[in-house]
């Protein structure tokens, strides 16, 4: 016969069933996006390294001094820098909960981004028209690859921005949309930093 176990009512020990920790939706999104940005850093580091090796191999063709219009590139750089500032205003409006201002500043940011791409496409078209296409020399091949890859990233950023504008217009500044806006903000500022490197390393140093 078993002996019953008697627990004193004054026993201070209280046992609670262990609960599985709750992970809010999207908790890992910023971390995952940082990992993506790090992988993009590796891609651009490889392209910068390639340009460093091939940047002086003109193959008897024209070099940076003969090809680049520094004032035009400076204007293009200003377009992208201004777009970073206007995106910052969009984020400030988001934190205030002002949907109308968010939409306005995203539209202005997209306008600057489109202007940047238009100038870049004009430059590419001009270079190809004068016979300085990517097949002309190792220097031009590395140049078109580096600058073109950055341009593709800007294009993707603009498509993403357009999709977010539609999402915000339809659903408002939900927590999910705010998280997406923050991720796009990191991506857009990242592209600015990369372009400053391109402008300095490819254009300015190439003119020296």
Mean pLDDT, rounded, for 7-30: 51
At residue 140, the pLDDT reads 96
Query: Measuring CA to CA, which residue among 147, 84, 149, 78 is closest to residue 110?
Result: 84
Please enumerate in sequence order all residues whose Cβ is within 8 A of that of 63, keeping only pairs 6 or more positions apart, or say none. Answer: 139, 206
At residue 30, the pLDDT reads 80
Measure the N-to-C terminal CA separation of the chain; round to a whole number of Å.
98
The band of 60, judged by pLDDT with boundaries at 50, 70 and 90, is: confident
Please check the confidence at residue 130 and state whether its pLDDT lies above 50: yes
Q: Determine phi and psi for 94, rounding to 5 degrees.
A: -60, -45
At residue 3, the pLDDT reads 52
At residue 28, the pLDDT reads 60
User: Could you give the percent of the chain with pLDDT greater than 70?
Assistant: 87
Mean pLDDT, rounded, for 86-104: 97
Cβ atoms < 10 Å from Cβ of 168 = 21
Q: Which residue has the tokens 């580091």?
A: 45
Just give the CATH number of 64-207. Answer: 1.20.120.80
Asked whether the beta carbons of 202 and 51 are under 8 A apart, the reply is yes
Mean pLDDT of the chain: 89
Asked whether the beta carbons of 187 and 37 are under 8 A apart, the reply is yes
Long-range contact pairs involving 34-38 (C-beta distance under 8 Å, separation at least 24):
34/186, 37/186, 37/187, 37/190
């Amino acid at each position: 016969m078993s002996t019953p176990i008697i627990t004193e009512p004054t026993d201070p020990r209280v046992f609670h069933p262990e609960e599985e920790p709750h992970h809010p939706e999207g908790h890992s999104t910023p971390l995952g996006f940082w990992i993506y940005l790090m992988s993009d850093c590796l891609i651009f580091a490889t392209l910068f390294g390639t340009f460093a090796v091939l940047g002086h191999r003109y193959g008897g063709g024209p070099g940076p001094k003969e090809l680049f219009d520094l004032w035009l590139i400076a204007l293009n750089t200003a377009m992208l820098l201004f777009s970073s500032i206007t995106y910052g205003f969009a984020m400030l409006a988001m934190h205030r909960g002002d949907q109308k201002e968010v939409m306005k500043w995203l539209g202005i940011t997209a306008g600057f981004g489109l202007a940047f791409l238009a100038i870049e496409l004009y430059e590419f078209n001009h270079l190809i028209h004068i016979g300085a296409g990517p097949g002309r020399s190792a220097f031009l091949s590395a140049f078109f690859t580096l600058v073109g890859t950055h341009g593709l990233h800007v294009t993707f950023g603009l498509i993403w921005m357009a999709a977010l504008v539609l999402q915000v217009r339809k659903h408002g500044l939900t927590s999910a949309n705010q998280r997406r806006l923050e991720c796009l903000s990191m991506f857009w500022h990242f592209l600015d930093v990369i372009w400053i490197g391109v402008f300095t390393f490819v254009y300015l140093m190439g003119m020296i």
